[in-house]
């Protein structure tokens, strides 16, 4: 079976992982801090704080932003369900916005229509690693005195107008999960340029303690066992096991980016665009693609996926619209025509870093074979 996605792991990851396991310190420590430094350099942000997952990062960001129960968060319906769960967990109200037909990112015009006196945050997703029009989102937020928290789960290493995604916003949340371009097995983090925000996140991730376990036991402290809880907090730190793998991946980021670029360019040039098949816009020069998705004609989307599965090719759907999900139905505030159309048509093709050229050829050939039949 050709997987739709899988992590890229090699000798570098195994060697640094062995180093951590032999060190006797597998919690939050030197590897986490080194990983944060590497991410900060890549993102060109003043601060980067590593956390346990991107889902938790979004939760922390909403808390730090001062959101209170009843506040509204404008978010694309076309996103991962965990984002909506986090909003509801905090007692906030998700206000679903439509997406642009060109690249399946959040529609700035529709966001503006959704803003009310209760709106606190705009939470756009950079879908597939393609940045949304974040400058327009920021201008809109500033005009209404709102905060922007970027869901950059798909977009670590992507660029928008020559600036790294996450380098310009109040807070930007990233994922280093099992299938992301840069993987920590599980992991997330928040980039910010605000010192006060960074310090609050640092305290929050350590259960509100003034000093982390590493700081208490690995620095000159008369009483390393002593700790003080000085603020609200949670247990959501990254650990040295995951961060070590992330460090190895960061050492390979040029290689990984080149492989992804070549894979995207080939799909763009060789996939058939006929009979209702479309490809949402991507620019391989700026977009560090997390996944590669196409839009099939709705009547035969499922048939194409079944055809590929029968021939040993796995596909996926990123995503089913959340405003149509049973659990979120009460927050459905009306039709989102582009989202609903895309939700019926989107297919994610195999698009992982180490996808072999021969396997990609096979995927393209099987798509072409199916297209001749419809």
Which H or E run contains 192? Answer: strand 188-192
Residue 186 falls inside a structural domain: yes
> Domain boundary residue among 250, 271, 304?
250
- Counting other chains too, the contacts that 8-11 makes at CB distance below 8 Å and 24 or more residues apart are 8/183, 8/249, 8/252, 8/256, 8/352, 8/353, 8/354, 9/183, 9/245, 10/252
| pLDDT over threshold 80, residue 36 | yes
Q: Is residue 198 located within the same domain as residue 279?
A: no
Domain span holding position 200: 11-250
What is the domain count for the chain?
2
Residue 350 falls inside a structural domain: yes
> Domain boundary residue among 202, 222, 250?
250
pLDDT of residue 304: 98
Q: Is residue 236 located within the same domain as residue 258?
A: no
pLDDT of residue 225: 78
Q: What is the pLDDT of residues 151-178, one digit of tens each?
A: 999 999 999 999 999 999 899 999 999 9
354: left (phi over 0), alpha (psi -120 to 50) or beta: alpha
Chain centroid to CA 18: 28
> Domain boundary residue among 250, 278, 293?
250
Q: Is residue 136 located within the same domain as residue 246?
A: yes
pLDDT of residue 221: 73
Quick one: pLDDT band at residue 236, thresholds 50, 70, 90? very high
Residue 3 falls inside a structural domain: no
| pLDDT over threshold 80, residue 219 | no
Q: Is residue 243 located within the same domain as residue 302?
A: no
Q: What is the pLDDT of residues 2-23, one digit of tens each?
A: 999 999 999 999 999 999 999 9
pLDDT of residue 25: 92
Q: How far apart are CA 28 and CA 229, in angstroms?
A: 18
| pLDDT over threshold 90, residue 317 | yes
Quick one: pLDDT band at residue 44, thresholds 50, 70, 90? very high
Joined together, the tokens standing for residue 178 give 């099992």
Q: Is residue 246 located within the same domain as residue 272?
A: no
Q: What is the pLDDT of residues 245-261, one digit of tens each?
A: 999 999 999 999 999 99
The C-alpha angle with vertex 287 and arms to 286 and 289, in degrees rounded to 5, equals: 155
Q: Is residue 237 located within the same domain as residue 332?
A: no
Q: How far apart are CA 88 and CA 270, in angstroms?
A: 42
- CATH code at 269? 3.90.1150.10
Q: Is residue 270 located within the same domain as residue 130?
A: no
Quick one: pLDDT band at residue 217, thresholds 50, 70, 90? confident
Q: Is residue 31 located within the same domain as residue 120?
A: yes
pLDDT of residue 358: 98
Contact criterion met (CB below 8 Å) for 109 and 100: no
Phi, psi of 139 (to 5 degrees): -65, -45
Joined together, the tokens standing for residue 326 give 């049973």
- CATH code at 181? 3.40.640.10
Residue 244 falls inside a structural domain: yes
Name the nearest CA neighbour of 100 among 80, 123, 76, 116. 76
Residue 125 falls inside a structural domain: yes
Q: Is residue 147 located within the same domain as residue 257?
A: no
| pLDDT over threshold 80, residue 220 | no
User: Token match 């869901």: residue?
Assistant: 151
**What is the overall mean pLDDT for the chain?**
96
| pLDDT over threshold 90, residue 119 | yes
Q: Is residue 199 located within the same domain as residue 81?
A: yes
User: Coil, helix or strand for 153?
Assistant: coil
| pLDDT over threshold 90, residue 334 | yes
Least confident of 206-215, 289-298, 314-323: 206-215
Residue 5 falls inside a structural domain: no
Residue 4 falls inside a structural domain: no
Q: Is residue 276 located within the same domain as residue 242?
A: no
pLDDT of residue 218: 80
**Percent of the chain residues topping a pLDDT of 90:** 93
Name the nearest CA neighbour of 124 among 91, 157, 100. 100
Name the nearest CA neighbour of 174 among 195, 191, 162, 194. 191
Residue 1 falls inside a structural domain: no
| pLDDT over threshold 90, residue 242 | yes
Q: Is residue 32 located within the same domain as residue 70?
A: yes
One DSSP character per residue, 45-98 reads -SEEEEES-HHHHHHHHHHHTT--TT-EEEEESSS-HHHHHHHHHTT-EEEEE-
């Amino acid at each position: 079976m050709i997987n739709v996605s899988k992590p890229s792991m090699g000798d570098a990851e195994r060697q640094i992982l062995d180093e951590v396991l032999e060190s006797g310190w597998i919690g939050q420590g030197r590897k986490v801090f080194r990983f944060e430094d590497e991410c900060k350099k890549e993102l060109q942000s003043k601060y980067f704080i590593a956390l346990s997952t991107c889902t938790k990062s979004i939760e922390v960001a909403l808390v730090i932003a001062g959101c209170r129960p009843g506040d509204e968060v404008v978010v694309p319906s076309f996103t991962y369900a965990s984002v909506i769960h986090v909003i509801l967990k905090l007692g906030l109200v998700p206000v679903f916005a439509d997406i642009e037909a060109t690249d399946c990112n959040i529609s700035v015009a529709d966001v503006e229509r959704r803003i009310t006196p209760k709106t606190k945050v705009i939470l756009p997703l950079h879908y597939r690693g393609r940045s949304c029009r974040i400058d327009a989102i920021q201008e809109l937020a500033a005009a209404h005195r709102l905060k922007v928290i970027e869901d950059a789960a798909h977009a670590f290493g992507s660029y928008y107008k020559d600036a790294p995604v996450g380098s310009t916003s109040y807070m930007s949340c990233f994922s280093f999960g099992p299938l992301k371009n840069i993987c920590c097995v599980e992991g997330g983090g928040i980039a910010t340029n605000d010192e006060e925000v960074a310090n609050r996140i640092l305290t929050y991730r350590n259960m509100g303690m003034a000093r982390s376990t590493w700081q208490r036991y690995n620095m000159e402290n008369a009483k390393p066992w002593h700790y003080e809880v000085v603020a609200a907090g949670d247990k959501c730190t990254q650990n040295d096991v995951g961060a070590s793998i992330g460090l190895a991946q960061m050492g390979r980021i040029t290689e990984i980016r080149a492989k992804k670029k070549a894979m995207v360019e080939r799909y763009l040039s060789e996939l058939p665009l006929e009979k209702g098949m479309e490809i949402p816009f991507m620019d391989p020069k700026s977009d560090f693609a997390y996944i590669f998705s196409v839009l099939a004609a709705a009547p035969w989307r499922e048939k194409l996926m079944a055809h590929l599965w029968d021939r040993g090719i796995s596909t996926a759907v990123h995503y089913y619209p959340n405003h149509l999900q049973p659990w979120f139905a009460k927050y459905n505030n009306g039709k989102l025509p582009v989202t609903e159309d895309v939700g019926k048509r989107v297919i994610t093709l195999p698009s992982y870093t180490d996808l072999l050229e021969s396997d990609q050829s096979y995927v393209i050939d099987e798509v072409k074979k199916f297209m001749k039949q419809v």
